[in-house]
Amino acid sequence: MRRVLGVWMLVGLVGVGLTQPVDPRRFPAQRLSRPPVIDGIVNTDEWAEAYRVEQFWSPSRQQVGAFPTRAYIGYDHEAIYVAFICEDPNPELIQARETKRGGYLENDDTVMALIEPQARGLEPYTFTVNARGAQTDDFPAGTTENIRWRGDWQAAARIVANGWQAEMRIPFRILRYAPKQNRFGVILERYIPRLNEIYTFPNMGAFYSTRRQSLWIGLEPPPPRYPVIVLPYFTGDSDPDTTRARSGLDLRYTIGDPLTALLTLKPDFRNIAADVASVDFSYTEKVLAETRPFFQEGAEFMPPRAAFYSVRVQDLSAGLKAFGSLNDWRYGAMAGEYALNGRKRQFGVGRIRYQFAERSFIDLLGMRLQGDVQEETLGAILDSRRITGDGEWRLVGTYYQLNGDRDGVYQQYTLQRNAPERAPNYQLQYTDIEPNYRPRLGFAPETGYRGLRFGVLWFDRPESERLLYTETRLDLSRRTRYGGARLDEGGTLSLQWLYASQNRLTLTADYLNRPPNIDRTLGVEYAWNVLDIYRTGSLELRAGDLNGGRSLYARFVQSYELAPRFRVRLDAENLEIRYADAPTDRARQLIFTVNYEIDPERAIGGRMVLNRLEFEGDVESTRNFYLTYLQRVRRGFDLFIIYGLPNANRSQNRLAVKIVTPLEF
């Protein structure tokens, strides 16, 4: 194994190809004597001192964007300022449906500023605004949704006679950077959904990657200054039998880029309105998303879920975390205590990353669990990337050793070729997981096999008035158990077409030979109004052999806006698997959701869930309804109120309140 890993490391160090330079590779930082007013109207006098971007490029077509776009970027002693002027020959077609902060902007006309303070090709901060001024952001390393915890920034936008305009103010205090840092990485972007087109500054070549950025040089940002933020919360809930209360807090202390430290005491584990799982069939456990602030913050600095899956940590009583970067090194460490079946367990995890080339890293990681059990996992990861003029090669090698009452090895090697449109994208992956690799705080749903997977993806944005996008995807896999028996083998073929009429057609064919069953299914999905999140809908049908029987799956989804900011959504699913010599398995589910957005920071909603599951002769049913109020504000306290209980089998006469009040010191 060591010999194999060494060969892969050598390949990664050698690299593949040369990097095509961006244009411009760098541009000067210009300091503003007076900050512009962030009102969504770009007054050229206010922005006269800023650096002016005259052209945005279409990466896919390698030409200047068809719709003229200009931008300004500058800074002062407190913040970065960015403005966009987006011309549009048909402003009545500008898409801007989302209104709330942190909402879904993927289908709206948007502009985006990607700021990377390290200027090292790492993950950038992303700030996005749509044509109505709705904001969303993405911070590297992950963070929670509370606005003051993650950091506030301002934006405004206006639709005007010849298009739309937007302005942003991004305070330095919400960015992590080293003292005396004098250059940032920058990408500016415009997205036009009805054309399915992205325009960028700089021109990064045909292959788009956020790692290809222009350097904003000559900056004189203020010395990093970060407050201590305390996020206390209180929850109380009451039902006819009892009243309960709970309080706790999360605390964060940041010293710029080198260090962020977090402490949590009795964290809250209740979701105000949890997602409802879709009706489907799976041979293995599903992956769940992490929603708790303590685990969200700095998540990318922690070991991957095959070694540490934070959802396994349930009743956490206290935890401490630290992460950060220093020159070519990045690190993260976390420790905590939780209870399982009344017994206390302590865990510790850590990860160290060294950047040995421009886009290449090697990681060492570990996890230790002690209490009523003793267990540890040690591992290494190699991640090497090389961008060529027409794409990117990526090599990832992973090796974990589990020690304790369960001893086993997990190893996986992936070679990936990412290419622009009209060129094939490839992935070749080998996985080997020993039978006893079953970490208690890791996610390994199946063990004891060796497998090979090959995938190819081809997509295009054709020069067509009717067709915006086409995609073809093929995945083939084969896995063999230790001892030589077949675990499974199969393939999936998927074809997709996105039309200018905002409709999408998807065809799929699946084959899986998993003894004693051979699954063969064909599927079709037709979606309409795909760019309008409040009027979109879809119909999906799948049929064939599944789990030893004949299956039929149907799903209908429809969203609608009954009045301004008053929205409803219907989601109906039905799955039947008929067997020759056993009872029919059935799963039926109806979800009806209603939401009224009072303003971009406050909303009330309700959800009704009806389902009936019949599997292997057992019958389970759900008839649940609950109401919610959500307040997530720039100033004041976040407030969550729920009447009922999400994911309960029956409606509950229960009222719960959660108050979160960030404090800065």
pLDDT in tens, 250-268: 888 877 666 778 787 876 5
For residue range 385-403, what is the model confidence (pLDDT) as tens digits? 988 767 899 999 999 999 9
For residue range 286-299, what is the model confidence (pLDDT) as tens digits? 677 777 778 888 88
State the chain's mean pLDDT as an integer: 88
- Binned at pLDDT 50, 70 and 90, residue 586 comes out as very high
Helix (H, G, I), strand (E, B) or coil at 402: strand
- Binned at pLDDT 50, 70 and 90, residue 282 comes out as low
List strands edge to edge, sheet with 154-160.
Answer: 51-53, 69-75, 79-87, 163-171, 154-160
For residue range 184-231, what is the model confidence (pLDDT) as tens digits? 999 999 999 999 899 999 998 888 888 889 999 999 999 887 778 888
**Per-residue pLDDT, 246:** 78
* 603-619 average pLDDT score: 91
For residue range 454-477, what is the model confidence (pLDDT) as tens digits? 999 999 988 788 999 999 999 999
- Residues 651, 624 contacting (CB under 8 angstroms): yes
Q: How many helices (H) and strands (E) does the chain have?
A: 3, 39
Residue 110's contacts (CB-CB under 8 Å, 6 or more residues apart) are 128, 129, 130, 131, 190, 191
Distance, CA of 209 to CA of 353 (rounded, Å) = 21
Distance, CA of 177 to CA of 323 (rounded, Å) = 14
- Residues 406, 439 contacting (CB under 8 angstroms): yes
The candidate with the shortest Cα–Cα distance to 172, out of 214, 136, 125, is: 125
Token reading at 443 = 């996610």
Distance, CA of 652 to CA of 218 (rounded, Å) = 60
**Per-residue pLDDT, 400:** 98
Note the helical H segments in 69-157: 147-150
Please report the domains of the chain, with CATH numbers, ordered by start residue: 31-217 (2.60.40.1190)
**Euclidean distance between the first and final Cα of the chain, in Å?**
51
- Binned at pLDDT 50, 70 and 90, residue 239 comes out as confident
Q: Considering only residues 149 and 344, tell me which one the structure prediction assigns the higher pLDDT.
A: 344
Q: Considering only residues 109 and 267, tell me which one the structure prediction assigns the higher pLDDT.
A: 109
Running DSSP on this structure, what letter comes out for residue 123? Answer: P
Give the CA distances from residue 653 to residues 40, 210, 244, 608, 627, in Å, rounded to whole numbers and listed in that order.
46, 49, 14, 14, 11
Running DSSP on this structure, what letter comes out for residue 299? Answer: G
The candidate with the shortest Cα–Cα distance to 185, out of 156, 210, 150, 160, is: 210
pLDDT-above-90 percentage for the chain: 61
Task: For 310, list phi and psi in degrees, rounded to 5.
Answer: -60, -25
Residue 445's contacts (CB-CB under 8 Å, 6 or more residues apart) are 284, 285
Provide the strand spans (E) within 389-485: 391-404, 408-418, 425-433, 449-460, 467-481
- Residues 394, 16 contacting (CB under 8 angstroms): no
Determine if the peptide bond prior to 224 is cis (ω within 30°).
no
Task: For 41, list phi and psi in degrees, rounded to 5.
Answer: -115, 115
Token reading at 442 = 């890791």
Q: Which amino acid is at 527?
A: A
Q: Which amino acid is at 22?
A: V
Helix (H, G, I), strand (E, B) or coil at 462: coil
Provide the strand spans (E) within 94-227: 110-116, 125-130, 135-138, 154-160, 163-171, 183-192, 197-201, 214-217
Task: For 183, list phi and psi in degrees, rounded to 5.
Answer: -155, 145
- Residues 149, 292 contacting (CB under 8 angstroms): no
